[in-house]
A and B are shown apart, each in its own frame.
Chain A
Amino acid sequence: MDIVQVENLSKVFDKEIVAVDNISFHVKEGEIFGFLGPNGAGKTTTIKVLTTLLQPTNGQVNIATFDVRKKPDSVRSSIGIVPQALTLDDDLKGMTNLLLSAKLYHVPDKIAKERADELLKLVGLKDAAERDVSTYSGGMRKRLELIIGLIHNPKVLFLDEPTLGLDIQTRSVIWDYLKKLNKENGLTIFITTHYLEEADLLCDRIAIIDQGKVLIEDTPSNLKQKLGGDTIEISVDDNVKAKELISEFSSVEKIDTVGQKLRIKTKKGDEVLPLILEICKANKINVKTVALSKPSLDEVFLEYTGKSLRDTGAGYSDKAAMQRLWKAR
């Protein structure tokens, strides 16, 4: 069953700023779905529509079978949210924050207390539960935020850039929790991110969004495969002879001379590389350097959006993106 159904969703601010432009996608129950895009691509706007914070301008959005327009309260009861900005009350204890949220979601007191203890243990905040949140570190806040989103046992958990600004250890800890929750409880997770490694590691499927449009939607490995496999770069002392020998291999798809080097495209880089080295040695060709690169989501991203996620700092100078970001607040 598709637990999140988005059909032809558009969101326009002030009649002219198109933040989300006619997008459609589905998330299956029990999967981790990644929503990938540069800053200002429309990720946060989409998640705000999906979580009933914004009304769609056009299109149909159903979460756990409920229409976000007609049954916002039923949608709200079925979902958990870990927003991009922190939403904790600094002046209250961790436990109080957690139980307050439980009350707002109508979790009976006894069950709330049990779940709170269990969740605090899960994320290692048991000892800090009775302290004011103002004494927490960034990572602790995020972990608390995560379990607050889970206190009412939601069907879908929405995470908006959950690891933004966290160090790599805390990030991987959070990934582990998410994987565990997904595996053990079958929790459906919808995550937006602009960390490609995060999407690659966590997600069953991803959609790439840019300038309000979904460019492609598939599993990470399929997306990488579509790029045409691995690349081997090799520099030898006799390019011509080496090229002739290497092109004999059936699994080599393409071989080019790029500067002083040979660039070989193949589906099975791991297997071809030793064969190449062997044949060079047998023919007394001296191999100076060799490099094997696997396709990364970075390259996938580059392929579809025409820009690398790493240099999306440029996105900030884009006025429309700025306005979208601002409006989505």
Chain B
Amino acid sequence: MIIETWVLIKRELEKWYKVPALIFSALIQPVVWITLFGNSFNPTRIISFENLTFSENMPPEVVMGIKEFFANSSNLILEQTFQGAPNYLTFLTGGVLSTLILFSSAFSGSSVIWDRRFGFLDKLLVAPIPRSSIYYAKVFSTVIKALIQCSLVFIIASLIPGGLVLAKLNITVVVVVFVSLFMLATGFACLFTAMALRMRKWETLIAVANLVNLPLLFASGALFPISFMPDWLQTIARVNPITYSADLTRTLFITGEITSNVIFDFQVLAGFSISLMILGSFVARYYGFKE
């Protein structure tokens, strides 16, 4: 089972790294989120009102006072609402990594559909291998690709000016962040690959992916703190695994410490990935490859 899965994962990865353009095109979106969205919608800069102009009649000490007030409140908000992040991009990066995982997992099923179209799947189905190895190969090749892309985005985010600033960089931070991103990716890839198993058309998959991607992104704590949201949206965000992955990742980036929050996030993600793996294997075994 493991050998067959690995053989098939290698096939997927070989097809992937043969086309570097694919790898880099997948990086464009997260980098756009960080550099363009992160800078133009940067809430701390918006609140600081650096570019306010005042009427000339206004006494200069009042103008100074107002400017100081906004600058201070901006720092206060950064400290209290953005978990004490040194800047918004540091806050955002944790969310963007989770979003990247969601977006690449959402299309994880597309190779199943292509394999079915091009007949390669038939070849796998008549080979003496467990059918769930076909499913898990798709899931884990997606996970591996997503994690490699996450590492690249992480490096890019650290390199750009005004970007990611880590409180601490130690092996624990890296391992915990990667394990939790791995769990998030596994959960989503299991879900979306299982959905694609019986699909005959690529268009269906695109429709489903587009239907869920942006709502899942906006109804999560990936871009802004969920305390910014109205109550009903907060409730939705609290059942969205991206919220937990984003929270865990950014807490570790900002504080470098494993707090009780981090442990809770970790447990939620573990529950998410394990339950979807069980569901996925069930679907693959009893439903996905039947006539």
Give A residues with C-beta under 8 Å from B: 51-55, 73-74, 76-77, 79, 81, 83, 85-92, 96, 100-101, 103-106, 148
Quick one: CB contact mask for B93-129 with A, threshold 8 Å, 1 for yes? 0000000000000000000000000111011111111
Given contacts A83-B122, A100-B7, A104-B7, 15 further A-B contacts (CB under 8 A): A53-B122, A77-B128, A83-B119, A83-B123, A85-B122, A86-B119, A87-B119, A87-B120, A87-B122, A87-B123, A88-B120, A89-B15, A103-B7, A104-B129, A105-B127
Determine if B127 and A104 form an interchain contact, defined as CB atoms under 8 angstroms apart.
Answer: yes
Interface residues of B in 156-175 (CB under 8 A from A): none
Chain A minimum-CB-distance residue to B130: A73
Q: Name the contact of A106 in the complex, choosing from B15, B123, B124, B128 (C-beta under 8 A).
A: B128
Chain A residue with the shortest CB-CB distance to B123: A87
Beta-carbon nearest neighbor of B115 in chain A: A89
> Number of B residues whose C-beta is below 8 Å from A?
20
Q: Are A53 and B125 in contact (CB under 8 A)?
A: yes
26 contacts between A and B (CB under 8 A): A52-B125, A53-B125, A54-B291, A73-B128, A76-B128, A77-B128, A79-B126, A81-B126, A83-B119, A83-B122, A83-B123, A87-B119, A87-B120, A87-B122, A89-B120, A91-B15, A91-B19, A92-B14, A100-B7, A103-B7, A104-B4, A104-B127, A104-B129, A105-B127, A105-B128, A148-B123
A100 touches B11 (CB 8 A): yes
CB of B11 within 8 A of CB of A52, answer: no
Q: If A90-B118, A92-B15 touch, does A52 touch B126 (CB 8 Å cutoff)?
A: yes
Query: Per-residue CB proximity of B110-152 to A under 8 Å, as 1/0?
Result: 0000000011101111111100000000000000000000000
CB-CB nearest in chain B for A91: B15
Mask of B19-36 contacts with A, CB within 8 angstroms, 1/0: 100000000000000000
Q: State the CA gap A255–B143 with chains docked (Å).
A: 78
Which residue of A has the minimal Cβ distance to B291? A54
Interface centre among B4, B124, B126 (most CB of A within 10 A): B126
Q: Determine whether the beta carbon of A96 is less than 8 Å from that of B126.
A: no
A91 to B124, CA, bound (A): 17
Name the CB-closest residue of A to B10: A100
State whether A76 touches B127 (Cβ < 8 A).
Answer: yes
Complex: A88 Cα to B124 Cα, angstroms:
11
* Chain B residues in 8 Å Cβ range of A104: 4, 7, 124, 127-129
Cβ of A89 and Cβ of B11 under 8 Å apart? yes
The residues of A that contact B124 with a CB separation of less than 8 Å are 104
Which 9 interchain pairs have the tightest Cβ spacing? A87-B119, A76-B128, A104-B127, A87-B123, A85-B119, A77-B128, A103-B7, A91-B15, A73-B128
A186 CB, min distance to chain B CBs, angstroms: 22
CB closest chain-B residue, reference A76? B128
Note all chain B residues with C-beta closer than 8 A to A92: 11, 14-15
